[in-house]
A and B are shown apart, each in its own frame.
Chain A
Amino acid sequence: MSAVLTLEHVKKTIKGNPIINDLSFSVQAGEIFGLLGPNGAGKTTTIRMIVGLIGLTDGDIIVSGKSVKKNFEEAVKNIGAIVENPEMYKHLTGYQNLKQYARMHKGISKEKIDEVIELVGLTERIDEKVRTYSLGMRQRLGLAQCLLHDPKLLILDEPTNGLDPAGIREFRDHLRMLTETKGMSVIVSSHLLSEMEMMCDRIAIIQQGTLTDIQYVRDFVDNDQMVYLIETGPLDNVKNWLQQDWNATFVDSGFTVSVNKEEVPLLLNRLIDSKVSVYSAKEIVKTLEQRFLEVTTHTNGGL
């Protein structure tokens, strides 16, 4: 697979405050990539740097082999984006808005505009002023705007903000269709986990301007192993082998571990042999949400 987007040690400092610290990742062709993080973590800043709205303090961003820093026009040609809310010219109609953006790219035919309008399902209302549109319709017009020039990379910042569940579902289907039929890569940012889990192939967790984790969503779904929370007394003597042999994660009241059911007695026996008091062992359904909270609270605690 080839990388459509690569961030290389990207740093951003605003008035002496580091906003983004040494961020590196890449997005593959045809992949839906999620940027997840609490508000203020640097998701929007990262996205703005990719599309060139904000300059880089250090590092570089490569889109389709072209540097955003050195070759902005060539690089950004391959990107379609909605940054935060899709703000349009309210005094123009939907169609006039699309024409505005079509004129700024090379070779967008009238047919192409109509095709995109059809795709996002705005055909009936396209000749009405954007002022009269609902938020959902503006989102769809925003999506139409970034599909006009058939970009290789679609960047959507908080795309489902303000959409109702049906709208979110529809939006998700759109994305799937685009990546599968056109081979587009998509970057989606959100602070809503459940949504990201359903939408993305891979999710990066950003916190305080640093990449804390990248996960394949499929890993969770395909995994036969279950996660168990073992409530125990002090673990000081056994921490070493728990970590090495079982890859345990420690929490306040004990630890969690991801194992097959048959292995549970084995683990418990070994704990009891080591004179660890075991109070309970229960199966927990581990979602990305828990993983996310784990990662983020861990970092917060470290402060």
Chain B
Amino acid sequence: MGNLLMNEWIKIFRKLSTTIMIVLLLLGIVTMGAFYKYQETTSTTQVNENWKQELQTQISSDQEGLTTAGENNANMKTYYERQIALNEYRIENDIAPNNEQHIWTFVGDSQMMISLAGLFSIIIAAGIVSSEFSSGTIKLLLIRPISRVKILLSKYITVLLFGILMLAIIYLFSSLVGLVLFGLPSTDVSHLAYSNGEVIERSISFNLVIQYLLSSIDILMIATMAFMISSAFRNSSFAIGISLFLLFMGGTATILLASWFDWTKYILFANTDLTAYFDGVPIVEGMTLSFSIVMLLIYFLIFHLLAFGIFAKRDVAA
């Protein structure tokens, strides 16, 4: 398996297009950094002296929301409860909401680049099987004493590794750019998380890693789908087209549908944003974290059953 992964890795990284992808990603982060730096120098942020009072007003308005909206929507109830608990914690422990730009806020902002990384991972996922067919090299690949399942698995793992590499590049490079442009935070900052009715302080860099991984779930699913289409139909443009359309439109379309139909919760894209369960509101009432995880697993399994089932059986005649 190690050798197979190495083969796939070499094939990807000897391509010019892969180098271009990485350069674009790095350029994107630098441009973003420059833009934020420019904004920071032109606008002056003042320290708000009355932040405690403002939070207090926010809390009472949230409490109002809790009694009205929270009554008939369990998810909204959790949301308000969380907001109130977090703000109360801030007042009690004297943690002012911080507007300062520093390395970690920049790493957080760089999550925007994840869609670019997703785009690249999808291109790789869509091409990794179908390009062997279009170049004819599949014939030399499948006549080795290695089962087709192993070959396809090595390709899928390569896609995953490529995605992880892209994420790591964004995280590490934006840390570097953030450190150079904005420096470390002036006071100790940590992420306030709310779980089981309690507020806990978490390391901000660790929390960002979790956030990066959570916001990559939709990309993981779409890349898996692109991989499935690519192995089943052997056509990379078809796979890329459908996948990118879904990557950019799927979420929006699901939100639109969610306001009318309850069954929207079974759609893949209603379940890909797991951060909703930690910091926001799920799009259909009554959805829970475990429901979404089960849905994601079901989709994941279906994609792989199709990909492996078709790839292992089908005749290579072209």
Are A89 and B11 neighbours in the complex by a CB distance under 8 Å? yes
What's the least CB distance linking A296 to chain B, in Å? 24
Residues of B within 8 A of A136 (CB): none
- 8 Å CB contact of A54 from B140, B147, B316: B316
Are A76 and B144 neighbours in the complex by a CB distance under 8 Å? yes
Given the contacts A53-B315, A54-B317, A100-B10, A74 and B145 also touching, CB distance less than 8 Å:
yes
Given the contacts A77-B145, A96-B14, A100-B10, A48 and B137 also touching, CB distance less than 8 Å:
no
Does A91 count as interface, using CB distance less than 8 angstroms? yes
Say which one of B1-9, B157-165, B169-177, B254-262 lies at the interface with A.
B1-9
Residue of B nearest to A92 (CB): B14
Contact with B along A57-90 (1 / 0, CB 8 A): 0000000000000001110110101111111111
Given the contacts A54-B315, A89-B137, A104 and B4 also touching, CB distance less than 8 Å:
yes
What's the least CB distance linking B85 to chain A, in Å? 56
Number of contacts between A and B (CB, 8 Å)? 79
Q: Complex Cα distance A275/B135, Å? A: 66
Residue of A nearest to B5 (CB): A103
Are A76 and B143 neighbours in the complex by a CB distance under 8 Å? yes
Q: Complex Cα distance A101/B139, Å? A: 12
Given the contacts A73-B147, A76-B144, A87 and B135 also touching, CB distance less than 8 Å:
yes
What's the least CB distance linking A106 to chain B, in Å? 8
Are B10 and A79 neighbours in the complex by a CB distance under 8 Å? no
- 8 Å CB contact of A87 from B140, B143, B317: B140
Q: Complex Cα distance A145/B139, Å? A: 12
8 Å CB interface, B151-206 against A = none
Residues of B within 8 A of A53 (CB): 139, 142-143, 315-317
Does A167 count as interface, using CB distance less than 8 angstroms? no
Q: Complex Cα distance A101/B313, Å? A: 23
Q: How many residues on chain B are close to A (CB under 8 Å)?
A: 25
Contact with A along B1-32 (1 / 0, CB 8 A): 00110110011001110000000000000000
Q: Complex Cα distance A74/B145, Å? A: 7
Q: Complex Cα distance A89/B128, Å? A: 13
Does A254 count as interface, using CB distance less than 8 angstroms? no
Residues of A within 8 A of B4 (CB): 103-104
Residues of B within 8 A of A (CB): 3-4, 6-7, 10-11, 14-16, 135-137, 139-147, 313, 315-317
Closest 5 A/B residue pairs (Cβ): A87-B136, A103-B3, A104-B144, A77-B145, A53-B316
Taking A53-B316, A86-B140, A103-B3 as given, write out 17 further A-B residue pairs in contact, using a Cβ cutoff of 8 Å, ordered by the A residue number. Answer: A14-B315, A45-B317, A52-B143, A53-B139, A53-B142, A53-B143, A53-B317, A73-B146, A85-B136, A87-B137, A88-B137, A89-B137, A90-B135, A100-B11, A101-B140, A101-B144, A104-B7
